[in-house]
Amino acid sequence: MTGNEWLAIGMVGGFFGFLVLGVPVAISLAISGFAFGIMGFGTGLFNLLPARVYGVVTNYTLLALPLFIFMGVMLEKSKLAEELIDVIGHAMGRLKGGMGLAIVIVGVLMGASSGVVGATVVTVGLLSLQPLINRGYDKGVASGVICASGTLGQIIPPSLVLILLADILGESVGTLFAAAMVPGLILAGMLGLYLVLLGIFKPEMVPAIPQDERDALGSRDLLIKIVKVVLPPLALVFAVLGSIVGGIAAPTEAASMGALGALLLALFTGRLSLGVMREVLHDTLITSAMVFFILICAQPFGLAFRGLGGEGLVHAMFEWVPGGDMGNLLFMMGVIFILGFFLEWIEISYIALPMFLPVFLNSGIDMAWLAILVAMNLQTSFLTPPFGWALFFLKGVAPPSVSTTDIYRGVIPFIGIQALALILLFIFPELTSWLPDLIGW
C-alpha cells in the first residue's frame, strides 16, 4: 500500500472520529477531506472544488428537493395528517387492527407527500400513539406500526432518497419513482396484512374502535369527511407522481406543481394562515439548507478520497469477497445496513455509495434495482434496535408510559416484514423493472 492509500484510510477513520466527538456531519466531512487531501497533494487537488460545488447548486434535478420538502411540510403543518388519521381510522373502525391499518395508509400518503422519515414518524407519533394506547392497543404494536409506517417515506415516491440516488447513479428520477412504486406498495400491503392477521389471532392487542365512538359519526358524515379530507391529498399525490412517471413533466416541474397544490389545498380548506406559512417556510429552509450543506461539504471529501487512491482500495476490498457480483452486492448491502445505524441517508447516499459504485458500473447490474435495494435496506436499518433512527424519533415524542423496551419489542415483527420484502426484491428484480418497462422508461 502507498502512503496516499494509508491517508485515504486515515481520512475515513478521521471522519468517524469527528462524528464520535460530536462534530456535525458536514463539518466532519469538510475538515477530514481538506486535511488529508492537503497532506497527500497540497492545495492543488482542490482546484476542481469550485466546479464541483457549482455542479451541486446548479443541478436541475436536485432543485426538486426543496420543492418536495415544502409540499410535505405544508401538508404536515396544516394539520392534514391529523384529520387523515382520524377519518381513515373511523372508516376502518369496525375492523380489529383498523386503526393500525389507518396509520399504514397515512404513512403511505405522508411518505408520498414528503419523503422525510423523521417528519412522518414524529407527526404520526404525536397524533396517534397515545390515542392508540387509550383504545387498548398493545404499546409495542402501536410503537412498531408507527415506526414502520413512518419509514415508508424512504421507498414510496417522491422519496428524497430516490431523488438523490437518481443523481448519484445517473438514472432518471422518473425511472426510480416507477421502479419503487411496486416494491413500496407491496411492503405497505405486507404491513397491513400483518395487522389484519394480528386482529384475527390476537384481537386483544389491536381492538376495534369502541362502538359508541363509531356511532358518534354517522355513515353519511363519514363519507363526506372521506371525500373532503382523503381525496384531495390523494389526488395531489397521484397528479404529481403521475405527471413524472407518465413523462408529462420533469421531476422539478412536477415538484413545483406539488408545492403549489399543497399551498392551495391548505388555503381552500381554511388551514392556511400567516403563522402556518412562516413555519412552513422556516422548516423548508432549515431542511433544504441542511441537505445542500452536506452535499457541498461532501465534495472535498470525495475529491480527496478519489485523489488519494481510495477507489482502488475499495476495488481491492471487493476482490476478496467471494460470490462474484452477487457476493459484492450482498457485502455492500451489509455495510450500508450497518452504516444506517450511525449515519443519515444523505451521508450514506452521497459518501458511502459513491465509494462502492465503480465496482458495479460495468457489472451489468440494473442500477434502478440497485437503488431500490439500497433505499429499502436503509429503511430496514432505520428500524433496527438499538440505534435505529426511527426509534429515537418516536421515543422523543412518546408519552412517559411507553418505554424504550416497548418500542424495541414492538418493531421486531416489522423488521422481519421489511427483511422479507428486501429478500423478495433481491430474488425477483422484476418487481422494480415491471412498471418502468410497462411505461417505456
Q: Residue 43 in contact with residue 343, Cβ under 8 Å?
A: no
Angle between helices 173-201 and 98-113 (to 10 degrees): 170
Give the span between the Cα atoms of 28 and 14, in whole angstroms: 8
- Identity of the amino acid at 398: A
User: What's the pLDDT band for 1 if we cut at 50, 70, 90?
Assistant: low
**For the residues 342-351, what does the mean pLDDT come to?**
74
- For residue 202, which of 146, 136, 134 has the smallest C-alpha distance? 136
Give the Cα-Cα-Cα angle 108, 109, 111 (nearest 5 degrees): 65
On the question of pLDDT at 175 being above 60, the answer is: yes
- pLDDT: which is higher, 387 or 136: 136
Most confident of 156-160, 212-216, 426-430: 426-430
- For residue 357, which of 315, 323, 319 has the smallest C-alpha distance? 315
Q: State residue 384 phi and psi, 5-degree precision.
A: -85, 125
pLDDT for residue 182: 92
pLDDT for residue 117: 60
Q: Is 361 exposed, middle or buried (0-12, 13-18, 19+ CB in 10 A)?
A: exposed
Greatest Cα pair distance, the chain, in angstroms, is 75
pLDDT for residue 86: 76
Express the helix, strand and coil content of the chain in percent, nearest 5 each. Answer: 80, 0, 20
- pLDDT: which is higher, 69 or 427: 427
pLDDT for residue 116: 59
Give the Cα-Cα-Cα angle 148, 80, 206 (nearest 5 degrees): 40
pLDDT (tens digit per residue) in 232-260: 888 887 888 778 777 788 778 888 888 88
Give the span between the Cα atoms of 179 and 372, in whole angstroms: 7
Give the span between the Cα atoms of 377 and 369, in whole angstroms: 12
Of 180-184, 239-243, 263-267, the poorest mean pLDDT is in 239-243
Task: Please name the residue that has the C-alpha cell 409506517.
Answer: 149
pLDDT for residue 281: 92
- For residue 97, which of 196, 204, 212, 202 has the smallest C-alpha distance? 196
**For the residues 154-171, what does the mean pLDDT come to?**
83
On the question of pLDDT at 113 being above 70, the answer is: no
Domains of the chain, residue spans: 62-290+320-439
User: What's the pLDDT band for 46 if we cut at 50, 70, 90?
Assistant: confident
pLDDT for residue 217: 67
User: What's the pLDDT band for 356 if we cut at 50, 70, 90?
Assistant: confident
What is the value of pTM for the model shown?
0.80
pLDDT for residue 215: 67
Give the Cα-Cα-Cα angle 334, 335, 338 (nearest 5 degrees): 85
Query: Average pLDDT over the chain, rounded to whole?
Result: 83
pLDDT for residue 115: 55
Q: Residue 402 in contact with residue 381, Cβ under 8 Å?
A: no
- For residue 342, which of 11, 25, 7 has the smallest C-alpha distance? 25
Give the span between the Cα atoms of 308 and 33, in whole angstroms: 10
DSSP structure class, residue 323? S
On the question of pLDDT at 441 being above 70, the answer is: no
On the question of pLDDT at 381 being above 70, the answer is: yes
**For the residues 285-302, what does the mean pLDDT come to?**
85
pLDDT (tens digit per residue) in 301-342: 888 888 888 777 777 777 787 877 888 888 888 888 887 776
Give the span between the Cα atoms of 152 and 150, in whole angstroms: 5
Task: Give the list of residues 6+ apart from residue 426 with CB closer than 8 angstroms, or none.
Answer: 373
**For the residues 213-241, what does the mean pLDDT come to?**
77
pLDDT (tens digit per residue) in 5-25: 888 889 888 988 888 888 887
Q: How many helices (H) and strands (E) does the chain have?
A: 23, 0
Q: Residue 146 in contact with residue 390, Cβ under 8 Å?
A: no
31 is written with which cell numbers? 475538515
Q: Residue 208 in contact with residue 94, Cβ under 8 Å?
A: yes
Task: Give the list of residues 6+ apart from residue 168 with CB closer than 8 angstroms, or none.
Answer: 349, 350, 353, 354, 357
On the question of pLDDT at 114 being above 60, the answer is: no
Q: Is the dihedral of CA 141, 229, 158, 118 positive or negative?
A: negative
Task: Please name the residue that has the C-alpha cell 434535478.
Answer: 61
pLDDT for residue 219: 73
**For the residues 76-88, what does the mean pLDDT come to?**
76
Alpha carbon 40 to its chain's center: 36
- For residue 25, which of 377, 351, 385 has the smallest C-alpha distance? 351
**For the residues 411-440, what does the mean pLDDT come to?**
90
% of the chain at pLDDT higher than 70: 95
Of 82-91, 152-161, 183-192, the poorest mean pLDDT is in 82-91
300 is written with which cell numbers? 472535498
Give the span between the Cα atoms of 36 and 153, in whole angstroms: 36
pLDDT for residue 257: 86
For 151-203, list the strands marked E by DSSP: none
pLDDT for residue 20: 81
